[in-house]
Every structure is written in structure tokens, then in C-alpha cells.
Amino acid sequence: MAASAWSQHVVANLYAFGLNFQSSALLTITVPALLADLDPTGHTQALAELSTAGAFAGMVLPVAVGAWVDGSRASRRSRRLAIACGAALNLIGLAGIYWAYTRLSFFVFCLVTMAGHSVTTVAYQSLWNDAVPPERRGALSGSNGAATLLGTIVGLLMAALLPDRWALWPMFGAILAGYLSTQAMPDALSSPGQGVPRRPAFRDRRDFLLVFAAQAVVSLGMTLLMTFVLYFFRDVMHVSAPRQQTAWVAAASLAGAVVSSLVLGRLSDRGRRPLLTAVACLPMAFAAAGFALRPDMRWISLYALAFGLGYGGFSATGWALTLDSLPDPQRITRDLGIWGVASILPTVIAPAVGGWVLVAAPDAATGYRWLFTLAGLSFATAAAVVIFVRGPRHGTAVADETA
């Protein structure tokens, strides 16, 4: 790839790396560890309350900020302001968490950084949509997916290796670097030979609703798998080191996801994205079915790799397909905020559903068989739904958006 192409990929997706670096490290390791030190007896309840409040903010704030940005007379300036304010809140919250030594102050600064993360994310996604050429949307979506996955991997490693409070400073640096990278992104690209921005034509909401539904059921299946997989290794597979086995499965999945995200994202610029997105759901359904029907340690790595290949492809092509399906060129930021609900709401619902399934089962093995079957059906449903997305075909997307 030419140097200029590499720079475009880096500039467009560095903030995606930083945001996921922070979220994976902060919410998975750093916050639970620090909360356990601050409140040794009530940390479980406190974490549940904090996670619920963060999830609520993650659903409400992006929609509200998106509506404000789109409704502003100077929407591009408002979007830049939202990115700056979100980044500032995020950084203030991280610094506050470092210096917080009471449960109340810790709780407040965690909510500040979560709010900043939510505000920044939706405004950045809107900027990304306008700054990326439609004809290269698939390739850059692939890079976006890879940056997201790499951010998750590096964030988890950094949080695991560094002392809990010191791990906050690499997050601070990643968010700051990501914000600065947005200053190099244009507000919008112009049509060839013209001075007006390229904007998508108005579309009905059918495709958007289908993509929303597909994202929701994939997030449901993902959460069902990831929430309980450690207990599956411990209670059903009876492995001697369930934490290490879970980490190995996650690493194998993410490795496959990075590769497929880059490849399928680029391929989707040459073909029909709905079909590729549907195909990407099938390896995830296969992996979940394997866990349900043939839970054998000899096959676990294969299931993990298949799942990662599917998830990486879905992340890349699904994100590009979402942008293809945005219905209203005047309400892009708001609609992206609404689309984000499809990823967050299932993470609130799935643990309760999965817990009910496991409790209702006659034994642990049967419970996990039901659970993984439900996850597999979620991925298969996503494939069945997304195949009906009409979407712009290759060659017509650009014509529609430059018309």
C-alpha cells in the first residue's frame, strides 16, 4: 500500500484504536480492580451500579448529542465541538480516577469519562462518515475494524501488565493522540471538480432498520458467549486454568478477526456488502454450534478462529453497510447515535437472559448447550436479516452520494 494510503488509514482510524484501547482496559480490568481496593466488601454491587449507569449514558447521550449536532446551523462546527468536549471530559475523568481515593469521587469521575467517551464516539463516527470516500468505505472500514480489535488487545495487555492506577496514563495518551488525529481529518470530501460536499441521497429507513436489527442480535449473541465462557471452561470442560483458557480463546478469536476485517473490508468495495456481511455471520454461528454440540478441547481453537474470522468480517462490512444505509443526510449523527443503541442494549439484556437459561437447565452441561445454541441462532438470524438489505451496490454508491 502506498505511503499516502497508509497515512489515510492511520489518520482515519487512530481514534478508533484509542477509544477501544481505553474501554477494554478501563472497564474490563482497571475499574474492577480499583473498585475492589476502594470498597472490598461492596465492590460487586458497586460495579454493577456503575456498569448500568454507564450503559444508560452510552444509549442516551449519543442520540441526544447527535440530534443537537444535526439540528445546529453550523453542524460541522458543532460536531468538532462535540469531539473536543467529549475528549476533554474523557481526559478529565481519567485524571480524576487516578486521584480518586473515595468511592463517591471514583464513581463520579468514572461517569465523567464514560460520558466523554460516548459523546466523542458518535461525533467521531459522523466525521468519519463524511471524511471517507464512499468508493473506499469498505477498505477503510476494514482498517477501522482492525484498529478497534488491536486497541482492544493492546488495552487488555497494558492493563494486565501495569499497576492499576498507572494503567490510566496510557489510556490518557491514547485518547489524546486519537483526538489530535481528528484534527487532520477533513470535515467533508468534495465531489470531483466541485466545491460542494458529497452527501448521500435520502433513503427510506428499511435498510437502516434491518442493519440495526442485525447489529442488535449479533451483540446479543456476542454477550451471551463472552459473559459466561470462563464458567463454561470451569464448570463443563473442567480445565485446570479457566482464566488462561479464556484468554487463549479470546486471543485466537481476535487474531482471526484482525485478518478478516482487513480482507473482507477491502473486498466489500468490489462486491455486494449485504451478502458479505451475511456470510461473515456464518462462521460465528458455526463456532457457537460447535461449543453447543461438540464441546471438545481438541476443537476449541478451531471454533475460536472461526468465530474471530466471522466477527472481524462482520465488524468491517457491517460498519460500511451501516454507513451505506443511513437514511437522512441531514440526520447522520443522530442516526449513528441510534445505531449505537443496537450494540449497547443487548449487553444489558443478555447477562440476565443467559443467567435465566443456565438456572432453568437441569444441569450445567445442558444449560450451556442451550446458551450457545441461543447465541448461534442469534448469529444465524443476523445473516438472515442482513441479506435483505438492498444497499448501494459497488459503483452505484458513489454515483448516489455524488449526485
pLDDT (tens digit, 9 = 90+) per residue, 232-249?
A: 877 788 877 766 676 677
CB atoms within 10 A of CB 6: 11
Dist. CA 207–CA 215, nearest whole Å: 12
385 closest CA partner among 221, 265, 256: 221
State whether 379 and 274 are in the same domain: yes
State whether 19 and 168 are in the same domain: yes
Kindly give the residue spans of alpha helices, DSSP state H, lying in 132-241.
137-161, 168-182, 206-235
Number of separate domains in the chain? 2
Dist. CA 84–CA 79, nearest whole Å: 9
177 φ, ψ (degrees, to nearest 5): -65, -40
The reply to whether 201 falls in a domain is no
Dist. CA 264–CA 93, nearest whole Å: 36
CB atoms within 10 A of CB 298: 7
pLDDT value, residue 273 = 87
Q: How far is CA 403 from CA 194, 263, 305, 343, 352, in A?
A: 11, 29, 42, 32, 47
Q: How far is CA 369 from CA 3, 268, 352, in A?
A: 49, 34, 17
The reply to whether 197 falls in a domain is no
State whether 291 and 159 are in the same domain: no
**Inter-residue contact 267 to 319 (CB < 8 Å):** no
pLDDT value, residue 402 = 40
- Partners of 190 in beta bridges: 197
Burial class (CB in 10 A: 0-12, 13-18, 19+), 248: middle
Q: 3-state class of 197 per DSSP?
A: strand
State whether 256 and 160 are in the same domain: no
| Alpha-carbon 30 to chain mean position | 19
Dist. CA 318–CA 325, nearest whole Å: 10
Q: What is the CATH number of the domain that holds 235?
A: 1.20.1250.20
pLDDT value, residue 97 = 95
The reply to whether 47 falls in a domain is yes
**Inter-residue contact 140 to 132 (CB < 8 Å):** yes
- Contacts of residue 283, Cβ cutoff 8 Å, sequence gap at least 6: 306, 307, 309, 310, 313
**Inter-residue contact 254 to 156 (CB < 8 Å):** no
pLDDT beneath 70: ranges in the chain: 1-7, 44, 188-204, 230, 242-244, 246-247, 391-403
The reply to whether 195 falls in a domain is no
**Inter-residue contact 116 to 91 (CB < 8 Å):** yes
What domain range is 299 assigned to? 206-402
The reply to whether 198 falls in a domain is no
Query: What's the pTM?
Result: 0.78
pLDDT value, residue 154 = 86
